[in-house]
Amino acid sequence: MHSPRIDGGLTTGAAASYTAGPRRTRGDNTGMAYAYGPLGVNVGYGWTSDRIEGFGVRIGIHVPVPLVVAAQPDLYVQLPGPAVLGLDAGVGMASVPAHATVMPYAQLGALRASGSGFYATYGFLIGPDPSNANYSGRGSGADVPGIAFQKVNGRTTTRAFAIAIIGRDRRCPAGVTNCVRRDNWAVASGMAVEFRHRRRP
Average pLDDT over residues 131-160: 78
Residue 69 has a pLDDT of 76
CA dist., res. 95 & res. 99, Å (int): 9
Beta strand spans in 79-173 (E) = 88-96, 101-109, 117-126, 141-153, 156-167
Domain containing 110 — which CATH number? 2.40.128
Number of domains, the chain: 1
Say if 1 falls within a structural domain.
Answer: no
CB-based burial label for 166 (10 Å; 0-12, 13-18, 19+): middle
SS3 assignment, position 45: strand
Say if 168 falls within a structural domain.
Answer: yes
pLDDT (tens digit per residue) in 60-94: 999 998 877 789 999 999 999 888 888 999 999 99
Say if 113 falls within a structural domain.
Answer: yes
Output DSSP code: residue 23. B
Say if 4 falls within a structural domain.
Answer: no
Say if 72 falls within a structural domain.
Answer: yes
pLDDT band at 28 (very low <50, low <70, confident <90, very high): low
Mean pLDDT across the chain: 85
Domain range for 119 is 9-196
Q: Is the pLDDT of residue 7 over 70?
A: yes
Beta strand spans in the chain (E) = 9-20, 40-48, 56-64, 72-78, 88-96, 101-109, 117-126, 141-153, 156-167, 185-196
Residue 92 has a pLDDT of 97
Closest CA to 159 of 187, 120, 186, 194: 194
Q: Is the pLDDT of residue 46 over 50?
A: yes
Residue 68 has a pLDDT of 78
How much is the pTM? Answer: 0.84
Average pLDDT over residues 84-113: 92
Residue 136 has a pLDDT of 37
Residue 168 has a pLDDT of 77
pLDDT band at 171 (very low <50, low <70, confident <90, very high): low
Closest CA to 143 of 117, 164, 128: 164
Q: Is the pLDDT of residue 182 over 80?
A: no
Say if 173 falls within a structural domain.
Answer: yes
